[in-house]
Structures are given as structure tokens and as C-alpha cells.
Amino acid sequence: MGEILEMKGLLKEILIAVVIAFVIMQFIKPTIVKEASMQPTLYENNYILLNKQAYHFGEPNRGDIIVFHTGLKLENGKEKMLIKRVIGLPGETIKIAEGKVYIDDKELTEDYTKDGYTDGYIDNLKIPEGELFVMGDNRLVSIDSRIEDVGCVKIDQVLGKAFVRLYPFNEICLIK
């Protein structure tokens, strides 16, 4: 009889652990940074956590770092997901000229970029409702909204908002 009670207790603990793990996975997704487009904020092989529900309960903010689905393909045929910083919000007008970014005709201060320079030219693009304009922090190598194949990102394409770096261990921190 005691063995049956122990077995029921063990099964109960396992079931509780599975339910907790399932709930956590609905809100958090671990991912690994694969490229250099977010340097100096994030580097290749950084292990980060995404808040998958961030935009179900709130709106994106300028400066958020997001992972999103694209129509791009990897060499193996799988979908390429990108990690970028939100620069422009729905309804805003973005301009890129002479290495600077302007939102609604005001120069954007971007102390997080690698080189302090944004290449390319965009002439007063109005960001559609429900979409975001995103760029990497390492603008010289970033595949982002400046490129036609990516363009503005629909908010419903966002997998999650990066909120913590877990690896390397000596760089564990909240992501801003």
C-alpha cells in the first residue's frame, strides 16, 4: 500500500512538472543568435530568451529587439528568422540619408549601433499600420527593413521580444 501511495505521489510531481514546463514554453522561447547583424549588442552564439507573449499584452516600442518570421530561406530550405531592433512604429515616417535615421523628420539618436552610421537611402517611407521598421545594430552587414526582401515586418510575424541573455555566462543580463 505504501508503494502505491509513493507511486501516486511521484506521478503527481511529474505531472505538475510537465504542466509547469508547458506553461513556461507558451511564454518563453530560447534561441541562439546566428549572425553578426546585432553587434555590439548581441554576438554570434549568444543564447537568449524571447517573451513570446510580449505583443499580445502590449505594443512594440522603439528599441525593442525582436525575432520574426521572414519569407527568406536558408540553404537547407528552412525559413530564415531574423533578430533586429525596432526602429519605426506604425504610422511613423522614416527617412535614411547621409548616414542618419529620421523618424517624422527628427534625427534618431542611436548610441547602440556598431559604427554610428546607417548606409542606404529611404525617402520618407510611411510605416503601415500593424507593421514595424527594423534594423540590425551592425548596419553595414544587416539584412533588415532597408532591403526589399524583408521590408516592414508585420507585428503578427514577430515570434517574440528578446529580454535576457543567458550565455555566455559572464554576460548574463537583461536585453535593452
Annotated active-site positions, please? 37, 84
Half-sphere exposure of 175 (CA within 13 A, CB side): 27
Q: Residue 86: phi, psi to the nearest 5?
A: -70, 125
Q: Which residue's C-alpha cell is 518563453?
A: 28
Check: CB of residue 115 under 8 Å from CB of residue 37: no
